[in-house]
Chains A and B, each alone.
Chain A
Amino acid sequence: QSALTQPASVSGSPGQSITISCTGTSSDVGSYNLVSWYQQHPGKAPKLMIYEVSKRPSGVSNRFSGSKSGNTASLTISGLQAEDEADYYCCSYAGSSTYVVFGGGTKLTVL
């Protein structure tokens, strides 16, 4: 069982928007603005999409955005495209005992 809880799957049609939630606790997501999101296509390494809750690395489309409320972080993808179909993982710093926790991953299907 992963430390952060994500829905197993979400889906959307091209052009639509979807949101993936990532629920933690007051010891990780709720205490630190150090939430990151990773996109992973089959057989490939994860790619950083969002860091520090809502910041985008250079080269990542502005269709990807992040937010946080309390113990839950969210990733929103707007204007869905076929290439967005992938697994998405959230990650949070979790303090000086546990350090790092990942979510279980969410499979995004573009219909």
Chain B
Amino acid sequence: QLQLQESGSGLVKPSQTLSLTCAVSGGSISSGGYSWSWIRQPPGKGLEWIGYIYHSGSTYYNPSLKSRVTISVDRSKNQFSLKLSSVTAADTAVYYCARVSSVFNEVNWFDPWGQGTLVTVSS
């Protein structure tokens, strides 16, 4: 059974870079033609898609975050990562990683999801 687990700093100072990693277990990150995504949820609010990395290595980002986001894959460690630069308090959220199924690069569904990790932006 595929499982995803987020890890990284839970507290980031304003203007710094948020860095998170998602470890994939129970399957290879390189198999099945799946893509890998980050989604966040501010406290008490809804879900916001951040971006995903296609199995080919191409990346696709939310236009509202594109200038600050980088998603990468480390196939040797079976994990993928998120970097979000120049953070502000508005970036405080629970960050989830998820596997993506897509059809001809059109996103279909997200499953499974990691348990999520809270990142707080504060000085």
Contact = CB atoms under 8 A, between A and B. Distances in A.
Contact of A32 (B48, B106, B109): B106
A105 interface: yes
Contacts of B48: 102
Contacts of B103: 34
A37 B31 CA distance: 25
Nearest to A51: B109
B110 to A, nearest CB: 7
Give the interface size bracket for A toward B.
20 to 34
Contact of A91 (B110, B114, B115, B116): B110
A82 to B, nearest CB: 23
B113 A46 contact: yes
Main secondary structure on B side of the interface with A = strand
B109 A36 contact: yes
Contacts, number: 63
Give the interface size bracket for B toward A.
20 to 34
Interface in A54-87: 57
Interface of A: 2, 32, 34, 36, 38, 44-48, 51-52, 57, 89, 91, 93, 97-105
List 7 tightest A-B contacts by C-beta distance, closest first. A48-B111, A51-B109, A100-B49, A45-B113, A105-B46, A102-B47, A36-B109
B47 A99 contact: no
Given A97-B63, A98-B63, A99-B60, A46 B107 contact: no
